[in-house]
Structure 1
Amino acid sequence: MAHTYEYPRPALTVDCVVFGFDGEGLQVLLIRRGVEPFLGTWALPGGFVHMEEDLEDAARRELREETSLSDVFLEQLRTFGTPGRDPRGRVVSVAFYALVRPEQHPAKGDTDASEAAWFSATALPPLAFDHREILEAALDRLRGKIRYQPVGFELLPKRFTLSQFQALYEAILGRPLDKRNFRKKLLAFDFLIPLDEFSEGSHRPARLHRFDRRKYDALVRKGFHFEI
């Protein structure tokens, strides 16, 4: 049975902030819009939610359609609904964010995205809608999250140096960290396994490590306090 509503209903969209790490800095996946409004402007992947669609399903569909990205862990960020945020009308967006390895997810535009590309989080182009605000909110969430949950498994290669791990945290926080203090606190959590392998191509090869997935997952579930 159809219902008649007294009040107009806003349109609902999803937007996705996808973070990656290239070994030196934090990256963000953007698409160039192929349709109006903001034709040709860079934006976060996203789009309208179908009437019978779950929010996370909509976010995954839009990521797949606009960037070919699939099989990633998504976490809901928050809702953005300031009137006037979308020139098409009253549009409310539910934002999600994801952590991936860029080398495993090359950017590829599709459907209403004429192009997709990875950008440095410190050198972003002008963004459509209120997507800069959404991105900053996701970055704030990530900066808070690294203090109570590990995030390296999603962003670092399978084998990595402690310097790479520190570079990741410095990229997220946007500031340098004391090397000795960082390593002391990091190793105390005991979720890294040192390998009998060393990095190549540097003046002083560094030992490689990998995650102990069982201990890593336990810390994800119960959390920890990483004061950095």
Structure 2
Amino acid sequence: MVIILKNYKKPSITVDILIFNENNKNINKNSEFILIKRKNDPFKDYWGIPGGFVDYGESTEEAAIREAKEETNININLESLQGVYSKHDRDPRGHTITIFYNATGDFNEMKADSDAKDINIFSYNDLEKISLAFDHNKILKDYFSKINKINE
């Protein structure tokens, strides 16, 4: 049975997927990952972590795999949940909660698709040179800070 809550304002759920090369077995600050350049507003022409909205009836894991394929053309191996970001003003379209995963995939399959205007390979040190969408700068800094502590 499905209960529809009509008078209850709800946030939207999104997923973001940080994709590393499947040949990289030791993720660190020098590891290469994929970002997409957004084709549409908000944050048109900004770089961002591939991702998007979870469809009704879809798990966040299914959404992550679908969104990665739609935006990067890569069939990913979802590795693990890395965080949840829920600040009410993280998306100018409204309150969204993002579920952040890391994944691996074959970079040879990479091509900009769907909402992506461009796609490229970056490393952590490149982040200070580019403008990132939404709160993706915070997400990436948090992730690499955690990875750095694990590798120490």
Could you say which TM-score interval applies, normalised by the shorter chain? 0.7 to 0.9
Q: Find the partner of 2:114 among 104, 111, 115.
A: 111
- Are the aligned partners of 2:69 and 2:76 in contact in 1 as well (CA < 8 Å)? no
Question: Could you say what the CA RMSD is over the residues aligned between the two structures, in angstroms?
Answer: 2.0
- Are the aligned partners of 1:17 and 1:138 in contact in 2 as well (CA < 8 Å)? no
Is 1:142 the counterpart of 2:143 in the alignment?
no
Bigger proportion of residues as strand: 2
Query: Tell me, what secondary structure is at the counterpart of 2:126?
Result: coil
Deviation (angstroms), 1:140: 2.5
Superposed CA deviations along residues 111-157 of structure 1, whole A, max 9, x for unmatched, are: 011111101220121100000111112212323444xxxxxxxxxxx
Q: Which amino acid aligns with 1:105?
A: F
- Are the aligned partners of 1:97 and 1:138 in contact in 2 as well (CA < 8 Å)? no
Bigger proportion of residues as helix: 1
Structure 2 residue runs without a partner (length 5+):
25-29
The structure with higher relative contact order (CA 8 Å, sep 6+) is 2
- Point out the structure with max Rg over C-alpha: 1
- Are the aligned partners of 2:68 and 2:76 in contact in 1 as well (CA < 8 Å)? no
Q: Find the partner of 2:102 among 97, 101, 107.
A: 97
Q: Find the partner of 1:123 among 123, 126, 139.
A: 126
Q: Which amino acid aligns with 2:15?
A: V
- Are the aligned partners of 2:72 and 2:113 in contact in 1 as well (CA < 8 Å)? yes
Q: Distance in 2 between matches of 1:111 and 1:119?
A: 20
Distance 1:34 1:4, change over 3 A: same
- Are the aligned partners of 2:16 and 2:98 in contact in 1 as well (CA < 8 Å)? yes
Superposed CA deviations along residues 157-190 of structure 1, whole A, max 9, x for unmatched, are: xxxxxxxxxxxxxxxxxxxxxxxxxxxxxxxxxx
Q: Distance in 1 between matches of 2:138 and 2:8?
A: 28
Give the percent of matched residue pairs that are identical in Structure 1 and Structure 2. Answer: 33
Is 1:54 the counterpart of 2:41 in the alignment?
no
Q: Which amino acid aligns with 2:145?
A: D
Q: Distance in 2 between matches of 1:47 and 1:14?
A: 6
Q: TM-score, normalised by structure 1?
A: 0.57
Is 1:36 the counterpart of 2:41 in the alignment?
yes
Is 1:65 the counterpart of 2:70 in the alignment?
yes
Q: Tell me the number of residue pairs that the alignment of Structure 1 and Structure 2 aligns.
A: 142
Q: TM-score, normalised by structure 2?
A: 0.84
Q: How does 1:163-182 map to 2 (within 5 A)?
A: none
Structure 1: 4+ residue segments shifted above 3 A: none
Deviation (angstroms), 1:98: 2.1
Which position in structure 2 is the counterpart of 1:45? 50
Query: Tell me, what secondary structure is at the counterpart of 2:32?
Result: strand
Deviation (angstroms), 1:2: 4.5
